Structure 1
Amino acid sequence: MEQNIKCVVIKLHNEQFGIDIHQVRSIERLQSITVIPQTPSYVKGIVNLRGNVIPVIDLCQRLSMESSSYTDQTRLVVVTVKEIDVGLIVDAANEVMDISREQIQPTPTITQDKKINFLYGIAKLENQILILLDVEKLLSNDDVIHLEQLKELKENLGEGDEL
């Protein structure tokens, strides 16, 4: 068993979170988002990323936090959730950190609710606490169905518009 895990450290407001680097495909600058009507409020729309259209989620809103203003530091962290590439809008994604498994504590029992089962654990570091996210559990089955529908929509739009 690996003694360390590598995490991409992301920032939402003044809080820092970690995502296992194996769950991250890329980190991109935020670009123009095409809004798709009638999606959950945290689904901001879709972007065309090097020829691939992917759904975009505001991670602050998904975690029931107030949305942040977009700045030059705002990033799109592209992850794969249940075989769908998804862009997560974060305030910043600045570093990759090695975390020893001994530093990771299970989430407190007060947070062990099905609604927030996407918390993988809490990393107690020298001068900070890092909340570890499991992106595979970040989206509900209903969310995945919505994202698959967005994926089908973009595939249909990309097939030459033959009607």
Structure 2
Amino acid sequence: MQGENTKSGRPSTARFDYAAMERKFAAALAVIESGWKPTLEDSRRVLASRAQALAMVQTPDEAAEACIEVVEFHLAYERYAIESHYVREVYPLENLTPVPCTPPHVLGVVNLRGEIISVIDIRVFFDLPKIGLPDLNKLIVLESEHMSFGVLVDAVTRADKIRVADIQPALPAITGIRESYLKGLTADCVAILDGGKLLSDAGIVVNEQVRES
């Protein structure tokens, strides 16, 4: 055993082979490293996953600059906007035909190049006060995959971009059905309507049935 005396009573003078031990460590390290080395397929999979993750993550600067495109309009002396991808076209109101037995907010229908479009007065739908003498003569046609209808407004003012970071929650004073269809307000008091909710509400254009006596 190491440290025992030789037969002559003197301790062993055999030297430790550091070079051999270094070679063994180097060989063991090479085996370990080769065991953890990924294959070409593994490397490609990892790189693809990292690229996908990086593409999905916005930097703080990108998030701060994210914008939505909107069409802005006036209604009852207030400023509203709706995301432009819900707007199919803007059309002058012509030849409105009233339809009996419809909800109060349905003013009637118009014929746009052979297509019958329901016309909605969202002042009534949102319970907005009818103040002054508004000039309701512009029709904003909203459209989704399953529904389309026209919203009657006083004037269409512009198309614009609004930073998402600038959109604030609706004020507590705005309650009821109006609040539920708002995405939020901008600092200069433009109310952004939720076009997705409007176009997913089947009751907004459903005709009421006439009850037979």
* Interval containing the TM-score (normalised by the shorter chain): 0.7 to 0.9
Tell me the amino acid that sits aligned with residue 203 of structure 2: D
Instruction: Tell whether 2:184 aligns with 1:121.
Output: yes
Cα distance in structure 2, aligned partners of 1:90 and 1:114: 18
The TM-score normalised by the length of structure 2 is 0.59
CA contact (8 A) 1:82 1:144 kept: no
Instruction: Tell whether 2:87 aligns with 1:27.
Output: no
Cα distance in structure 1, aligned partners of 2:125 and 2:177: 14
Tell me the amino acid that sits aligned with residue 162 of structure 2: I
In structure 1, which of residues 61, 67, 92 is the aligned counterpart of residue 124 of structure 2?
61
- Segments of structure 2 that go 5 or more residues without pairing to the other structure are 1-62
Greater relative contact order structure (CA < 8 Å, 6+ sep)? 1
Cα distance in structure 1, aligned partners of 2:179 and 2:95: 30
Tell me the amino acid that sits aligned with residue 128 of structure 2: M
**Deviation, structure 1 residue 66:** 3.8
Q: Which has the higher helix share?
A: 2
CA contact (8 A) 1:57 1:86 kept: yes
**Deviation, structure 1 residue 94:** 1.7
Matched with 2:197 is 137
The number of residues matched between the two structures is 144
Instruction: Tell whether 2:115 aligns with 1:49.
Output: no
Matched with 1:106 is 169
The TM-score normalised by the length of structure 1 is 0.76
CA contact (8 A) 2:126 2:177 kept: no
Tell me the amino acid that sits aligned with residue 193 of structure 2: L
Q: Which has the larger radius of gyration?
A: 2
Cα distance in structure 1, aligned partners of 2:206 and 2:119: 14
Identity rate of aligned residues, in percent?
31
Structure 1 stretches of 4+ moved >6 Å: none
3-state SS in 2 of match to 1:138:
helix
3-state SS in 1 of match to 2:190:
strand
